[in-house]
Amino acid sequence: MHGTQPFNLHIFVVDGDPDGLRIVERSNWNGKAVVFPRALYPKIKARPEFSETGVYLLAGPREDGNGEMLYIGEGDPVRPRIDSHFAKKDFWTRAVFFVGAGKLNKAHVQFLEAQLIRFATAAKRMHLDNGNEPTDPSLSESDRAVLEVFLQHMLGILPILSIHAFEQTPSSGGGFVGPASAGASDEPMLLSCGGKGVTASGFESTQGFVVKAGSQAVPLSGEAPSLQVHVGSVFKTRRELLNNGVLKQVGERLVFTKDFVFNSPSLASATILGRSSNGRVEWKDSTGKTLKELQVEQTKPLPVP
């Protein structure tokens, strides 16, 4: 979705607290990100950045404890909109908004909002608190071209700010490279996990552990009886993936309809097997070596040239 060219960020920690108000700027870009915890909002809302036109994101934990929720909006300026959400939306604990040094207008931020909602909906990485998906405003060809670049810069910054809602599942070109192929190829080693009549394939990436489309998982009826009590997060994850279409029932199994990124190999294997699972042991290469064994091999001293 966004480029992989290196770039520099300048982060100004306004009050000296790394968890407090931060102003983030990128080299050769007229945009600016303002990041802050909800608790600070009443103290900082008078800052000039809040008087600018921008697009904002509110993030916080879901009520069921299953990950985070995100709300995306725009404001001209942003302060009245965040004022309203501060009074009416309970879930959010942190926020970030982007402004463009006076270069953004209402139509511009409506476009950015619509694109962000569209990307987040497609990625299915975080639950969205937004209702209907907005439509793109009418823009000139030149404005749209400028905003596409602005958007790509935003998407490059957001993961650094711990908002991963927009990242598409990585292709198999950026994962764990096994010892046998190190130096010969940048392709990751495809691993497999199976049991209870199902089999799945996946690989490690910088975003997490990717389970490939077409992989199978045990049906709800095949879950360990104690799953909800002892591994509640897996119980919730399986049902959420069914509800949002990442998993679907095909015959007597569940099947992944798309590549999906899990936070860890263990969450991936537990979701597939419907029970508590150590992913470092469950995931294996074609020779039967576990992910743990492969990673131990990676720690061996490099050969002397």
Q: Residues 202-234, buried b or exposed e (16+ Cβ, 10 A)?
A: bbbbebbbbbbeebbbbbeebbbeebeeebeeb
* Percent of the chain scoring above 90 in pLDDT: 73
Residue whose tokens read 């809040």: 50
User: What is the value of pTM for the model shown?
Assistant: 0.73
Tell me how far apart the alpha carbons of residues 201 and 50 are, in angstroms, rounded to a whole number. 47
Band of pLDDT at residue 22, cut at 50, 70 and 90: very high
Give pLDDT, residue 99: 98
Per-residue pLDDT at 187 = 67
- 65, pLDDT greater than 80: no
Q: What is the mean pLDDT of residues 238-263?
A: 93
Question: What pLDDT is stored for residue 3 in this prediction?
Answer: 53
Mean pLDDT of the chain: 90
- The dihedral through the CA atoms of 12, 17, 22, 27 has a sign that is positive
Question: pLDDT (tens digit, 9 = 90+) per residue, 259-284?
Answer: 998 989 999 999 999 999 999 999 99
Residue 144 has pLDDT above 90, yes or no: yes
pLDDT surpassing 60 at residue 103? yes
For residue 2, pLDDT over 60 is answered with no
Q: How confident is the model at residue 1 (pLDDT cuts 50, 70, 90)?
A: very low
Residues 6+ apart with CB under 8 A from 37: 19, 20, 93, 94, 95
Q: Is 28 left (phi over 0), alpha (psi -120 to 50) or beta?
A: left
Calculate mean pLDDT across residues 98-107.
92
pLDDT of residue 183: 43
Whether residue 179 is predicted with pLDDT greater than 70 in this model: the reply is no
Nearest to 212 by CA among 262, 166, 155: 262
Residue 303 is predicted with a pLDDT of 74
Spatial CB neighbours of 75, under 8 Å, sequence gap ≥ 6: 53, 54, 56, 81, 82, 97, 109
Mean pLDDT within 115-130: 91
Place of tokens 């942190």: 94
Q: Is the pLDDT of residue 82 over 60?
A: yes
User: Looking at the predicted structure, is the pLDDT value of residue 4 above 70?
Assistant: no
Is 181's pLDDT higher than 50? no
